[in-house]
Amino acid sequence: MELLSGADMLVRSLQNENVKYVYGYPGGAVLHIYDALFRQDKIKHILVRHEQAATHMADAYARASGIPGVVLVTSGPGATNAVTGIATAFMDSIPMVAICGQVAHNMIGEDAFQETDMMGVSRPVVKHNMSIKHPSEIPMAVKKAFYLATTGRPGPVVIDVPKDMTTPTDKFKYEYPAEIRIRSYNPPSRGHSGQIKKAVELMLMASRPIILVGGGVIGGQASAELTQLAQKLNFPVTTTLMGLGGYPATDQQCLGMPGMHGSYEANMALHHSDLILNIGARFDDRVTNATEKFCPTAQIIHVDIDASSISKTIAADIPIVGPAMLVLKDMLTLLAKYKQQPNTQMLTTWWQQINQWRNRHGGRYEVSGGSAIKPQQVIETLYEVTRGEAYICSDVGQHQMFAAQYYKFDKPNRWINSGGLGTMGFGFPAAMGVKLNFPDAEVVCVTGEGSFQMNLQELSTCSQFDLPVKIVNLNNQSLGMVRQWQDMNYESRHSQSYMQSLPDFVKLVEAYGHVAIKVERMEDMKPAMEAALAMHDRLVFLDIYVDPKEHVYPMLVPKASMRDMWLSKTEKV
Amino acid sequence: MMRHIIAVLMENESGALSRVVGLFSQRNFNIETLNVAPTEDPTLSRLTVTTIGSDQVIEQITKQLNKLIEVVKLVDLTEGDHITRELMLVKIKAMGQRREEVKRLVDIFRGQIIDLTNRTYTVQMVGDQQKLDAFIEIVGEAYVMEVVRSGVCGIARSDKTLSI
């Protein structure tokens, strides 16, 4: 058997996990590991300009592919800079393996240089973390990290590696474990058949059903089964922010997104439904509005791989703990056996009602005319010129909601955004992570001038590693979502939501060797976008000046039910 | 709102306890008492936590605890017949006539004097929470110098066990 140092074992273990890229930033505590990386060529290291970007790149790769990305950072500030990205992945149940350096084990607790208790700091925002106590533990720790990150409800796993665990001269036998079993960890393998049967019977009797699709359908790779079930039953479908693409958005049965900025028809249908089939959504407060007023007439079937997501905020009538894909398959099998069909007559009436809501076009923006650009028009144009096939990596704010509302995702894994944590600065590194791994795909970052400035240093990384992403900056010269809340709740006192001293983005982007185009008039927007997309091998930044006064609608009225919405600045229902 | 006693078997590993304690503060759950020690199987620790909450909160607590990777098994003892005990060490002022009186109270409560000086008794007492509370009350706050309580230990009645 081979003898390897801890550093070489770590790198070899990553190779054994078929890791292609590691996103990171070197520093004192991880120098042995960086040396081990240097002495091999199977894994390529992507040097970011800030550790947060490394985590978002790894995270976005997982969102697009289902395979966890790997982050490598040093101790202390390297690790704490990564925390935002780890928390982002945690909130959205995204698998990730983050390897964090640590001071030598005999110095832990002595406030050594660049020491942070990363085990303690990361504990609330990881699925699990572990500290290496002996170099020979490293292969099993890596195996365990990948296993935990990807099974059950996925999430980030941190491995804390004290520097002396990687000392080049301390060598141990290396063997990568073929299997792993953890006696205290048994993720659910299937849903309970009795519960599934009850659920199917309820579905067949429902007169006003609706399917609520969450991120669990994307992460659980269940969109094919879900689509089949929804179409077999002819039930309306609403996809949460994390579930976009889980059901084809252009299909007639799709009502769009529910919740705070959900579509009028999706919110109305939920509120009036008599059955909600929730697959992999966690009834987040941005979906439910006031929980005590949530969908008063609905019975709830809740399918989730994580038992603690069920009846956490909204009590479920039929809880089903299991992986979305297998539960849906079991439902389909059962449906095929049943003679009984869904209640067609009732469903027809229900669809008539839904179509009435739909035809109202509630919350749709008004075209201003002239040269002014509405942000929604930018997204619609982007959808048109990319034929709906791009990976859209969004930042956080109004532009995120516009992208979610107006870009119609027909496929899963194409919508990459920070839903749970709402991390500004996510979009650009996310786009880089997707582009690196899917070089032939069109990858667009939709951002705003606020979010973009939180990670713009990565323009440099894009030059170094040739990452020709396209950046659509909806520049409204203000923190749009903050401003909107201030307009609605604080009598338009725009406290700190105005972005003074904006840089000249064109010069800024050009300084990094990329292409930038400033767009101020409606008639220039589409040609500029087409020109940008035609430059396949260049990073192009489109600085698009949009109407700064625009709000996102619909918007749920605070502390009310799901049917209580603002549809425009003046229209409330 | 009811008091629940949750017994948890978990891996006897560094950091496992901080995950449990961290979970309670992160999720705004309440801890009344907590005790933890290794079991006869040195790879496992047993933790007993008493907490107060609505059924919905208790359901969340047990689900969230179960989700911790190092938690092997747990049971809400209050769901069935169970026995609880708590150990208390209490240092009491015992001088003059009071000395005999305290000794008598200790006997009535079936405690033991495990250390003494001319002026004090140190009493060991085992019982459920109410018994220990009652003893403190009857001795009188003015005479109680120091109290150490272990927190509740619990076990199910009958042949039911929490083991792997």
Q: How far is B153 from chain A (nearest CA, A)?
A: 22
A221 with A318, same domain: the answer is: yes
Tens-digit pLDDT profile for residues B9-56: 999 998 999 999 999 999 999 999 999 999 999 999 999 999 999 999
Q: Give the pLDDT band of residue A339 (cuts 50, 70, 90).
A: confident
Domains contained in chain B, number: 2
ipTM higher than 0.85? yes
Judge whether A89 and A61 are in contact, CB under 8 Å.
no
Q: How far apart are CA A519 and CA A449, in angstroms?
A: 14
- Domain holding A119, by residue range, is 3-173
Average pLDDT over residues A79-102: 98
Q: Do B63 and A184 touch (CB under 8 A)?
A: no
Q: How far apart are CA A34 and CA A526, in angstroms?
A: 45
Least confident range from A120-124, A282-286, A379-383, A499-503: namely: A499-503
pLDDT of residue A368: 78
Whether residue B1 is predicted with pLDDT greater than 90 in this model: the reply is no
Average pLDDT, chain B: 96
| Catalytic residue, candidates A15, A114, A353, A477 | A114
CATH code for position B30: 3.30.70.260
Considering only CB atoms, A123 lies closest to which of B22, B64, B67, namely B22
Tens-digit pLDDT profile for residues A12-39: 999 999 999 999 999 999 999 999 999 9
Judge whether A560 and A389 are in contact, CB under 8 Å.
no
Could you tell me if residue A369 is inside a domain?
no
CATH code for position A442: 3.40.50.970
Could you tell me if A313 lies within 8 Å of chain B, comparing CB atoms? no
A342 with A202, same domain: the answer is: yes
B14 with B66, same domain: the answer is: yes
| Catalytic residue, candidates A165, A242, A481, A555 | A481
Owner of token pair 């060797």: A513
Q: Give the pLDDT band of residue A54 (cuts 50, 70, 90).
A: very high
B70 with B102, same domain: the answer is: no
C-alpha gyration radius of chain B: 18
Which of B63, B71, B162 has the most A C-beta neighbours within 10 Å, making it the best mutation to test the interface with A? B63
B52 with B122, same domain: the answer is: no
Residue where a domain terminates, one of A327, A359, A391: A359
Whether residue B137 is predicted with pLDDT greater than 90 in this model: the reply is yes
Average pLDDT over residues A115-137: 98
A257 with A395, same domain: the answer is: no
Could you tell me if B1 lies within 8 Å of chain A, comparing CB atoms? no
- The DSSP secondary-structure symbol of B86 reads E
State the helix-helix crossing angle for B129-139 and B97-108, rounded to 10 degrees: 160
Average pLDDT over residues A374-385: 98
Task: Return the percentage of chain A with pLDDT > 70, whole number.
Answer: 100
The secondary structure of A476-531 as a DSSP string is -SB-HHHHHHHHHHSTT--TT-B--S---HHHHHHHTT-EEEEE-SHHHHHHHHHH
What is the distance of C-alpha A83 from the center of its chain? 16
pLDDT of residue A455: 98
Tens-digit pLDDT profile for residues B81-94: 999 999 999 999 99
B30 with B67, same domain: the answer is: yes
Under DSSP, is residue A304 helix (H, G, I), strand (E, B) or coil?
strand
Q: Do A184 and B18 touch (CB under 8 A)?
A: no
Average pLDDT over residues A212-241: 98
pLDDT of residue A341: 83
Q: Give the pLDDT band of residue A303 (cuts 50, 70, 90).
A: very high
Which of B46, B55, B67 has the most A C-beta neighbours within 10 Å, making it the best mutation to test the interface with A? B67
A300 with A330, same domain: the answer is: yes
A336 with A478, same domain: the answer is: no
B23 with B71, same domain: the answer is: yes
Whether residue A1 is predicted with pLDDT greater than 90 in this model: the reply is no
Average pLDDT, chain A: 97
B87 with B149, same domain: the answer is: yes
A262 with A159, same domain: the answer is: no
Average pLDDT over residues B103-107: 96
Could you tell me if A180 lies within 8 Å of chain B, comparing CB atoms? no
Q: Which of B:27-56 have CB within 8 Å of A?
A: 56
Whether residue A371 is predicted with pLDDT greater than 90 in this model: the reply is no
Could you tell me if A148 lies within 8 Å of chain B, comparing CB atoms? yes
Could you tell me if residue A147 is inside a domain?
yes
Instruction: Name chain B contacts of A183, Cβ cutoff 8 Å.
Output: 72, 164
Q: How far is B69 from chain A (nearest CA, A)?
A: 6
A466 with A429, same domain: the answer is: yes
B96 with B147, same domain: the answer is: yes
pLDDT of residue A530: 98
Could you tell me if A128 lies within 8 Å of chain B, comparing CB atoms? yes
B29 with B53, same domain: the answer is: yes
Tens-digit pLDDT profile for residues A411-441: 999 999 999 999 999 999 999 999 999 999 9
Q: Which of A:395-424 have CB within 8 Å of B?
A: none
- Domain holding B143, by residue range, is 83-153
pLDDT of residue A342: 86
Whether A113 is catalytic: yes
Q: Give the pLDDT band of residue A310 (cuts 50, 70, 90).
A: very high
Could you tell me if residue B137 is inside a domain?
yes
Considering only CB atoms, B69 lies closest to which of A124, A148, A306, namely A148
Tens-digit pLDDT profile for residues A244-257: 999 999 999 999 99
Q: How far is B57 from chain A (nearest CA, A)?
A: 8
pLDDT of residue A453: 97
Nearest CA among A182, A37, A41 for reference residue B72: A182
Instruction: Name chain B contacts of A124, Cβ cutoff 8 Å.
Output: 22, 26
